[in-house]
Amino acid sequence: MDPIHLTRKEILEKIDTWLTAWNDHHLTGVMAWMHDDVIFENWDGGTIKGHNNLYKVWKLWFQDHGNFHFKKEEIIVDETEQKFVFAWSLTWPSREPGYKGQTEKRKGLDIIHLQEGKIISKQTYSKTYLNLDEDTHILHICK
């Protein structure tokens, strides 16, 4: 058993602190809950291993993606297994062709596993469509 076992209440409190760090665009605060050996599987199929590598990638993402905001939609916590599912919506300036700079809304979820009280695995899934101007559009991969 993991020597650091967070209670459901502690997990929910950490999620709130983590979400605040995301929405304050405070990368150091976001990374504070990441395990040294974290594995992040992105919605586009990419995988990043290790705290330092994830920091480097997310630093660029924070710089490139500007004024983003995550909203908590639903959280399901499994205290026994030390994992949770976090459903979210994201608003940000779109990078989609023909809609650059307009407000884009995307929905997704993260399946997150904890080890030693930190995030060891984060699998992100996102819908393959997005909302712009109240209309639904097929998502293109813009890097």
User: Looking at the domain assignment, is residue 47 inside a domain?
Assistant: yes
User: Looking at the domain assignment, is residue 1 inside a domain?
Assistant: no
Domain that holds residue 113: 8-138
User: Looking at the domain assignment, is residue 66 inside a domain?
Assistant: yes
Q: Count of CB atoms within 10 A of residue 65's CB?
A: 13
Burial category of 143 from C-beta neighbours within 10 Å (exposed 0-12, middle 13-18, buried 19 and up): exposed
User: Looking at the domain assignment, is residue 3 inside a domain?
Assistant: no
For residue 116, give the CATH number of its domain: 3.10.450.50
pLDDT confidence band for 141 (50 / 70 / 90)? low
Q: pTM to 2 decimals?
A: 0.87
Backbone angles phi, psi at 122, to 5 degrees: -135, 110
What is the tens place of the pLDDT at every residue in 75-111? 999 999 999 999 999 988 887 777 787 888 889 999 9
Number of domains in the chain: 1
- The sign of the CA dihedral 111, 27, 12, 80 is positive
- Find the farthest-apart pair of alpha carbons in the chain and give their distance in angstroms, rounded: 51
